[in-house]
């Protein structure tokens, strides 16, 4: 009997600490890459689509998107509860990937399908309804994909590796869509002026890639079976939320997530305006995207190795501080394109550690929460962080709309006023700079790295009793 129990324990530990194969990691990366393509076109162009294609005011569409984001954030929390309570032979996360990917694609296309004969009021209603359907499907798909990070292995280095793959796929998707969007929209619109038909065609193409990536992730991964996760507590929604609120490290990662996506989404929404009205050449948007993202992507494998050896927190904090060099170059060389690009490159390189292993910080906080409260709430941990993502994205859109309106931005004007131009510069650089300061403060207070190893060992002993 003792030998049988020992064999069962070894099997559990073997599954929990298993290595995740290359095909599974590639498929996960491809899955979030496809998802990121659609998210990128919506995030970067929905405001521009509303103002310059539909003729809706920037303030109106920004406020509408904020309301939608707040509603969407509530569904995030609900989705986390649903995922934690999911019982399936295919796991908790994988079934929702299969269920959500096709609706996500269809609603993305619908978002750009506003009937042109509608008045501005009805156009806003259409966008509101379509955006919330899109967001609901995005919530289910995004939380399921991110929760795979903790459902495939319990080995810390594997979790760091999967986190890096997830972030690499996400960023690469953003790079690709923002690099090719101008050329693709021009070609699909049949003119140098973007058209609604061009947006819909491009979204349909991106949707096909997203669908393939989603089902590839589903078919090539295998979650740790629930019956082998010993001592697992099935939390109620109230218990799950209470356990998270008591978890200071999780709260820090909520703040970190807010800062990351507030800065990112403000920058993405302002990028098309920056290319057209500050640089005077929308074709340079591709150069900005490449300089801002490719160095960080190339640095991620090195950053992962540094994080594994020196610790995630230390590597991230040093990297964030070093991004200040890049910001200084950008602020001092707004109209000197080579030096401005150099600043973007430096910022991207040093941002790689915190960006690459970002999800693993959330995993660590979830492990700490289980150790502290006895409640395992993996889905809720990621869903609530996703909530911070959605709220920050909505607020970023509102800030962009407000700044454009308050500084006197005029849609389709051949040239903007100095005030409007400075507003665009602030949105593209200044917001991200302030958010990076916030991240530095978060990681200066974060001290879980030195404790998580012992916490994991204690949980293993507790679960194997």
How much of the chain exceeds pLDDT 90, in percent?
30
Which are the contacts of 193, defined by CB distance < 8 A and separation ≥ 6? none
**Angle at Cα 20 formed by Cα 175 and Cα 161, nearest 5°?**
45
What does the pLDDT read at residue 230? 46
How far is residue 193's CA from residue 190's CA, in Å, rounded to a whole number?
A: 8
Q: Is pLDDT of 236 > 70?
A: no
Residue 110 pLDDT grade (very low, low, confident, very high; cuts 50, 70, 90): very high
Buried b (16+ CB within 10 A) or exposed e, 38-74: bbbbbbbbbbbbbbbbbebbbebbbbbbbebbebbbe
| Helices 237-245, 378-406: crossing angle, 10 deg rounding | 70
Residue 8 pLDDT grade (very low, low, confident, very high; cuts 50, 70, 90): very low
Q: Of the ranges 204-208, 305-309, 318-322, which one carries the lowest mean pLDDT score?
A: 305-309
Residue 5 pLDDT grade (very low, low, confident, very high; cuts 50, 70, 90): very low
Reported as a single tens digit per residue, the pLDDT across 417-440 is: 999 999 999 999 999 999 999 999
What does the pLDDT read at residue 229? 45
Is 275 buried (19+), middle (13-18) or exposed (0-12) by CB count in 10 A?
Answer: buried
What does the pLDDT read at residue 463? 66
Q: What is the CATH number of domain 25-225+232-463?
A: 1.20.1250.20
Task: Tell me what the mean pLDDT of segment 191-217 comes to.
Answer: 93
Q: Of the ranges 113-127, 130-144, 233-247, which one carries the lowest mean pLDDT score?
A: 233-247
Task: Tell me what the mean pLDDT of segment 29-33 comes to.
Answer: 93
Mean residue pLDDT across the chain:
83
How far is residue 288's CA from residue 7's CA, in Å, rounded to a whole number?
A: 55
Q: Of the ranges 8-12, 65-69, 257-261, 328-332, which one carries the lowest mean pLDDT score?
A: 8-12
Q: Is pLDDT of 161 > 80?
A: yes
Q: Is pLDDT of 232 > 50?
A: no
Among 1-15, 131-145, 425-439, the range of highest mean pLDDT: 425-439
Reported as a single tens digit per residue, the pLDDT across 333-373 is: 988 889 999 999 999 999 988 877 777 888 888 888 888 87
Q: Is pLDDT of 235 > 70?
A: no
Q: Is pLDDT of 464 > 80?
A: no
What does the pLDDT read at residue 322? 95
**Angle at Cα 115 formed by Cα 109 and Cα 121, nearest 5°?**
110
What does the pLDDT read at residue 4? 32
Q: Is pLDDT of 327 > 90?
A: yes
- Exposure of 409 in the CB half-sphere (CA atoms within 13 A): 28
Q: Of the ranges 70-74, 141-145, 418-422, which one carries the lowest mean pLDDT score?
A: 70-74
How far is residue 162's CA from residue 358's CA, in Å, rounded to a whole number?
A: 11
Contact 423, 403 (CB under 8 A): yes
How far is residue 448's CA from residue 452's CA, in Å, rounded to a whole number?
A: 6
What does the pLDDT read at residue 12? 39
What does the pLDDT read at residue 75? 75
Reported as a single tens digit per residue, the pLDDT across 9-26 is: 344 344 455 678 889 999
Question: CA distances (Å), 170 to each of 143, 307, 355, 395, 398, in order?
Answer: 13, 20, 10, 21, 23
How far is residue 159's CA from residue 304's CA, in Å, rounded to a whole number?
A: 11
Q: Of the ranges 117-126, 146-155, 299-308, 420-429, which one carries the lowest mean pLDDT score?
A: 146-155
3-state secondary structure the chain: CHHHHHHHHHHHHHHHCCCCCHHHHHHHHHHHHHHHHHHHHHHHHHHHHHHHHCCCCHHHHHHHHHHHHHHHHHHHHHHHHHHHHCCCCCCCCHHHHHHHHHHHHHHHHHHCCCCCCCCHHHHHHHHHHHHHHHHHHHHHHHHHHHHHHHHCCCCHHHHHHHHHHHHHHHHHHHHHHHHHHHHHHHHHHCCCCCCHHHHHHHHHHHHHHHHHHHHHHHHHCCCCCHHHCCCCCCCCHHHHHHHHHCCHHHHHHHHHHHHHHHHHHHHHHHHHHHHHHHCCCHHHHHHHHHHHHHHHHHHHHHHHHHHHHHCHHHHHHHHHHHHHHHHHHHHHCCCCHHHHHHHHHHHHHHHHHHHHCHHHHHHHHHHHHHHHHCCCCHHHHHHHHHHHHHHHHHHHHHHHHHHHHHCCCCCCCCCCCHHHHHHHHHHHHHHHHHHHHHHHHHHHHCCCHHHHHHHHHHHHHHHCC
How far is residue 189's CA from residue 185's CA, in Å, rounded to a whole number?
A: 6
């Amino acid at each position: 009997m003792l030998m049988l129990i020992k064999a069962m324990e070894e099997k559990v530990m073997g599954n929990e600490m298993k290595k995740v194969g290359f095909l599974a990691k590639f498929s996960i990366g491809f899955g979030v890459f496809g998802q990121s393509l659609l998210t990128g076109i919506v995030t970067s162009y929905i405001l521009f689509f509303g103002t310059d294609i539909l003729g809706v005011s920037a303030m109106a569409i920004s406020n509408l998107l904020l309301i939608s984001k707040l509603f969407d954030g509530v569904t995030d929390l609900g989705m986390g509860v649903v995922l934690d309570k999911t019982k399936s032979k295919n796991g908790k996360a994988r079934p929702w990937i299969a269920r959500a990917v096709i609706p996500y694609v269809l609603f993305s296309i619908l978002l750009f399908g506003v009937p042109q004969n509608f008045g501005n009021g009805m156009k806003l209603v259409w966008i509101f309804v379509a955006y919330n359907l899109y967001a609901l499907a995005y919530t289910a798909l995004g939380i399921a994909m991110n929760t795979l990070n903790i459902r495939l292995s319990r080995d810390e280095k594997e979790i760091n590796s999967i986190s890096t793959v997830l972030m690499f796929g996400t960023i690469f998707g953003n790079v690709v869509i923002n690099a090719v969007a101008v050329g693709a929209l021009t070609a699909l619109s049949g003119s140098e002026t973007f058209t609604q038909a061009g947006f819909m065609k491009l979204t349909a193409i991106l949707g096909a890639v997203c669908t393939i990536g989603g089902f590839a992730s589903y078919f090539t991964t295998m979650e740790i079976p629930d019956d082998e996760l010993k001592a697992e507590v099935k939390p109620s929604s109230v218990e799950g939320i209470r356990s998270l609120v008591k978890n200071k490290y999780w709260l820090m990662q909520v703040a970190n997530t807010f800062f990351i996506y507030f800065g990112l989404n403000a920058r993405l929404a302002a990028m098309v305006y920056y290319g057209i009205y500050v640089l005077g050449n929308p074709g340079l948007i591709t150069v900005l995207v490449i300089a801002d993202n490719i160095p960080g992507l190339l640095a991620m494998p090195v950053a992962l190795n540094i994080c594994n050896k020196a610790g995630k927190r230390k590597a991230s904090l040093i990297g964030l501080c070093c991004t200040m060099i890049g910001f200084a170059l950008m602020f001092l060389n707004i109209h000197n394109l080579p030096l401005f690009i150099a600043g973007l490159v430096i910022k991207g390189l040093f941002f790689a550690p915190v960006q690459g292993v970002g999800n693993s910080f959330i995993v660590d906080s979830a492990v700490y929460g289980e150790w502290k409260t006895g409640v395992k709430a993996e889905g809720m941990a990621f869903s609530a962080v996703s909530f911070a993502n959605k709220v920050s994205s909505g607020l970023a859109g509102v800030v962009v709309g407000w700044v454009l309106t308050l500084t006197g931005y005029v849609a389709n004007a051949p040239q903007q006023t100095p005030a409007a131009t400075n507003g665009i510069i602030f949105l593209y650089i200044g917001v991200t700079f302030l958010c990076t300061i916030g991240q530095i403060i978060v990681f200066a207070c974060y001290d879980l790295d030195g404790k998580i190893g012992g916490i994991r060992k204690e949980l293993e002993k507790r679960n194997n009793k």
